[in-house]
Amino acid sequence: MRFGYTDKLKKPGRTLLSTALISVIGVTSVEAGQFRDEGLRAPVGYYQIPEASSSGSYDCEIVEPHRGSMNFTSKYQGSDNARNELNKEAYQAYQEASATIRRFEKQVIATANDYQVDGDGPEARACLIDNLNTWAEAGALMPGDINHVGQAVRKWALAAAANAYLRVKSSAPENALDSAKVARIEDWFARVADGVRDYYTDREPRKVNNHDYWAAWAVMASAVATDDYGDWQWSLGKFDQAMGQIASDGYLPKELSREDRALEYHNYAMQPLTLMAVFAEVNQAPVYGQYQETFELLAQNVVDGLEDPSAIERITGHSQKVEGLSTAWGLAWMRPWAETWGPLPGMEGFLAEHAPVKNTRLGGDIEFLYRIEPRWPAQGEPHPPGNVRIQY
């Protein structure tokens, strides 16, 4: 492969990690990812230039912004502390109340795929920017009335939206994006990220779980899209916190407490944790190397559990719900892992069976983004110009 590069000025972050969080987790990863003069960067695949292949008109759907309350009903309403019994009526209510936000997530990622993968041209690119700009103008995802379920929905939406924007921003030709819309979108990302950070900072240790990891991933994606080092540091700090939760046997106690859904939530936790570690690697903050032994043990436990859940069943004392776990979206984290550090035993079989893997909240078409070595050459400058083309 050959790459072209250019420099980019960094933008200072708004705030740093909370004092309480630093005192608990230290600043090892934060120090490893200290301010880069060249700016934050995404994996190489985000910069791939789309081949224009569509000569027809592009059908752009603008998703009307979600307005009002984000006080949503939990699908586990009425469950005990294990939070593992699905309440079908509550789930239906949740699906209906959050439908617009989920449609927005899918639409922005689908449009990024249309532009970058399918080659639908400037029309698809403009459609994505118009969707994001519409939600930014409406101040969406920042209601006064928001509960813990709404907080979860907000961070997932930020993860999808920031990744879609980052893909198009990274691969678009220079000056191709409307500067006023870009400014509005990035300001909105910053404000939504502030809301996510406010809720997931200094949480009681007994509450810290996969939701915190997803919050960190969402804020990290937004940070790279906007060159915000305060948000970047916060996300690395939350990654440190997550690594500190891994027990000596390679399991996450909070996810084990989900009883018959323990394997499901371990796999779910691996999705944001893996992508954060890959993005950190790209930005020369080698958190994988720092936590390699425990992180690999966690990942291997998940892969082994997906093949045979008997070990985690012995630990939890509960048969595991495995239906629907091995899917193209559920296993999407394995592709970035395999391409960055090499596949763990068992991974290649899952990837061969379920490829192409895709996941809206991890960036969309994962095969497209990570089918090539995601790390940059050690001596390479971090930001390619808009017209760079990765050659195979």
User: What distances in angstroms separate CA 162 from CA 145, 167, 251, 291, one per listed residue?
Assistant: 23, 9, 30, 27
Neighbours of 366 (CB within 10 A): 25
pLDDT greater than 70 at residue 258: yes
19-370 belongs to which homologous superfamily? Answer: Chondroitin AC/alginate lyase (1.50.10.100)
pLDDT attached to residue 381: 53
User: What distances in angstroms separate CA 383 from CA 114, 170, 282, one per listed residue?
Assistant: 23, 8, 11
Q: How far apart are CA 363 and CA 162, in angstroms?
A: 9
pTM: predicted TM-score of the whole model, two decimal places: 0.88
Which one-letter amino acid corresponds to residue 119? G
pLDDT attached to residue 37: 58
Q: Report whether 35 contacts 10 (CB < 8 A).
A: yes
Question: Which tens digit of pLDDT belongs to each residue from 88-122?
Answer: 888 899 999 999 999 999 999 999 999 999 999 99
Output 243 or 22, whichever has higher pLDDT: 243
Predicted confidence band of residue 380 (pLDDT cuts 50, 70, 90): low
Expressed in angstroms, the distance from the first to the final Cα of the chain is 5
Q: Report whether 96 contacts 75 (CB < 8 A).
A: no
Q: How far apart are CA 285 and CA 34, in angstroms?
A: 8
Least-confidence region, from 40-49, 76-85, 108-117, 191-200: 76-85
- Ranges of each domain in the chain: 19-370
Proportion of the chain above pLDDT 90, given as a percent: 75
pLDDT attached to residue 79: 63
Question: Which tens digit of pLDDT belongs to each residue from 138-192?
Answer: 999 999 999 999 999 999 999 999 999 999 999 999 899 999 999 999 999 999 9
**DSSP classification of residue 193:** H
Q: How far apart are CA 88 and CA 55, in angstroms?
A: 45
Where residue 143 falls (left for φ over 0; alpha for ψ -120 to 50; beta otherwise) is beta
